[in-house]
């Protein structure tokens, strides 16, 4: 299997159980649900279908629920959208304001009522990933009059970007909080927050997750908080910070410390900042995530042409391969699998490219950079696990993990061998499905080390990870069952 994890957004093209099965068999590891579209009933059915497929195939599938965040979107317009031509005048207006009966301009409802406070004349406005460009002419009361700069179509719930504007709005809207309640109740593995500006946005989301988890009766693991783990807690649902604003790039180090995972959301980021800077920002973010062993996702337009075409462009293939060579944990599909014509085929293309790209060794300078940041016992053990596995020609590195940290640390070194993560938690098992090279399995707790070795060997042989007579590297804590106590490496011959 490919070591780089593949995330697919689920929508009308992929919502059926039969299609989901094909996507998992083609290489999909994680699903993304975009809560900005459709209601809770729809997403509840999707979650049910995903978990049914996971049970049928006996394979963990992690679920990411993408919160809308303070992203400004168009309101509800007609199903066919509003056709506009270059030179037309349109008026952006809060969606709760009545449109004049004898309107002489096109009126576009906006979901953020206070937008007019932050917009000035000559402000560029991009609609729907910059497929439509507007330029403001004047702001009068709550109405923003704009000139259309190109032909296009404006539809409901499409994102708007305002490069250079400092628009102040809360990190979590009322809708976000309702959607978060839905996420916690349905035990999704990750929530992704859009348009983060700084670490305070992450802390605010964390506070709500902890509160809602307790209200739903979930037992939160009482994690110790050494500095190496950053400021995350043992909440059931973990946080992916989406980097899609220049402010987030500026404050990235603190956002990374506060979050559980990172998404390089190149769609909005490429609109909000100079396009030519994007490749270098992506590389820097991936490198920093590797150092602290937190999963990083590269997203947006990876196979955009396959929304309508059966084959990708050469540039798209190079884009995927370069992200993998840079060290990303996961690559993500959006419209390609949500509404595209070829949801299964796009997964197969990604899987094939990932397998080939993974044959290339990670840049040696970056590898050295990672190693110099290892100071804790767990980090030192991870480094030695990789060395032992390579020198003994081991088939796999096996680690036990209560929080997922040990598995992520080993995987961040990009070993040749798969990292088999054994956890007594179904939640941790699914969450580890987002980390490069990690194959998570459930293994119940045992009191005896000898019993653990027996159970481990049975699992390894049953799953055909290694055969009798072959070498595996075991990384665990002794005595068993203590959180944060990875202190033992064992070379075992099956």
Burial class of residue 111 (count of CB atoms within 10 Å of its CB; 0-12, 13-18, 19+): buried
**Alpha carbon of 436 to those of 3, 44, 320, 387, 433: distances in Å?**
5, 28, 15, 18, 8
CA 437, 442, 444, 446: dihedral to nearest 10 degrees? -10
Point out the catalytic residue in the list 300, 400, 401, 486: 300
Burial class of residue 447 (count of CB atoms within 10 Å of its CB; 0-12, 13-18, 19+): exposed
Nearest Cα residue to 155 out of 192, 123, 115, 127: 127
Look at strands 132-140 and 143-148 and give their pairing: antiparallel
| Cα angle: 131, vertex 354, 30; to 5 degrees | 70
3-state secondary structure 325-391: HHCCCEEEECHHHHCCCCHHHHHHHHHHHHHHHCCCCCCHHHHHHHHHCCCCHHHHHHHHHHHHHHH
Point out the catalytic residue in the list 242, 266, 386, 408: 242
| Cα angle: 234, vertex 447, 229; to 5 degrees | 25
**Alpha carbon of 289 to those of 253, 262, 472: distances in Å?**
10, 8, 27
- Rounded CA-CA distance 4/436 in Å is 5
Cis peptide before 191 (omega within 30 of 0): no
Cβ atoms < 10 Å from Cβ of 305: 16
Nearest Cα residue to 358 out of 381, 336, 382, 331: 331
* Tokens 């997922």 sit on residue: 404
Does residue 368 have an active-site annotation? no
Point out the catalytic residue in the list 5, 73, 206, 294: 73
Nearest Cα residue to 1 out of 29, 21, 30: 29
HSE-CB at 154 with a 13 A cutoff on CA atoms is: 28
Does residue 395 have an active-site annotation? no
Say if CB 378 and CB 406 are below 8 A apart: yes
Point out the catalytic residue in the list 22, 32, 238, 408: 32
End-to-end Cα distance, the chain: 22
Over the range 124-154, which residues count as b (16 or more CB within 10 Å of their CB) and which as e?
Answer: bbbbbbbebbbebbebeebebbbebbeebeb
Cβ atoms < 10 Å from Cβ of 197: 17
Does residue 73 have an active-site annotation? yes
3-state secondary structure of 217: coil
Does residue 19 have an active-site annotation? no
Residues marked active site are found at 32, 73, 242, 300
């Amino acid at each position: 299997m490919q070591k780089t994890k593949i995330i697919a957004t689920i929508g009308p093209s992929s919502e059926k159980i039969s299609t989901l099965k094909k996507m998992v068999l083609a290489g999909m590891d994680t699903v993304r649900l975009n809560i900005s579209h459709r209601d809770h009933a729809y997403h509840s059915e999707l979650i049910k279908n995903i978990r049914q497929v996971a049970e049928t195939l006996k394979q963990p599938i992690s679920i990411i629920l993408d919160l809308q965040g303070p992203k400004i979107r168009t309101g509800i317009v007609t199903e066919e959208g509003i056709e506009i031509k270059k030179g037309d005048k349109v008026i952006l207006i809060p969606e709760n304001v009545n449109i004049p009966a004898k309107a002489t301009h096109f009126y576009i409802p906006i979901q953020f009522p206070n937008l007019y406070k932050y917009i000035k004349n000559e402000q560029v406005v991009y609609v729907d990933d910059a497929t439509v460009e507007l330029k403001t002419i004047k702001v009068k009361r709550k109405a923003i009059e704009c000139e259309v700069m190109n032909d296009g179509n404006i539809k409901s719930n499409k994102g708007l970007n305002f490069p250079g504007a400092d628009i102040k709005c809360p990190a979590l809207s009322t809708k976000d909080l309702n959607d978060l309640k839905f996420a916690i109740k349905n035990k999704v593995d990750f929530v992704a927050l859009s348009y983060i500006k700084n670490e305070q946005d992450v802390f605010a989301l964390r506070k709500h997750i902890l509160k809602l988890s307790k209200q739903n009766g979930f037992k939160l693991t009482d994690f110790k908080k050494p500095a190496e783990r950053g400021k995350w807690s043992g909440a059931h649902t973990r946080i992916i910070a989406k980097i899609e604003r220049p402010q987030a790039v500026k404050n990235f180090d603190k956002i990374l410390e506060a979050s559980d995972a990172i998404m390089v959301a190149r769609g909005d980021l490429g609109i909000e900042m100079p396009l030519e800077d994007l490749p270098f920002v992506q590389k820097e973010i991936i490198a920093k995530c590797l150092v602290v062993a937190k999963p990083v996702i590269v997203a947006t337009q990876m196979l955009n042409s396959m929304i309508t075409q059966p084959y990708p462009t050469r540039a798209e293939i190079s884009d995927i391969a370069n992200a993998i060579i840079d060290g990303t944990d996961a690559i993500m599909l959006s419209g390609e699998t949500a509404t595209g014509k070829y949801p299964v085929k796009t997964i197969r293309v990604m899987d094939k490219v990932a397998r080939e790209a993974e044959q290339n060794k990670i840049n040696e300078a970056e590898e050295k950079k990672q190693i110099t940041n290892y100071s804790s016992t767990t980090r030192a053990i991870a480094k030695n696990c990789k060395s032992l596995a390579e020198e003994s020609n081991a088939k796999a590195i096996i680690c036990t993990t209560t929080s997922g940290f040990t598995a992520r640390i080993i995987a961040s070194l990009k070993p040749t061998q798969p990292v088999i993560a054994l956890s007594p938690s179904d939640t941790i098992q699914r969450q580890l499905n987002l980390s490069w090279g990690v194959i998570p399995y459930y293994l119940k707790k045992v009191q005896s080390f000898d019993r653990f070795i027996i159970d481990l060997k049975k699992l390894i042989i049953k799953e055909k990870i290694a055969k009798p007579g072959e070498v595996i590297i075991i990384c665990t804590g002794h005595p068993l069952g203590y959180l944060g106590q990875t202190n033992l490496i064992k070379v075992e011959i099956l």
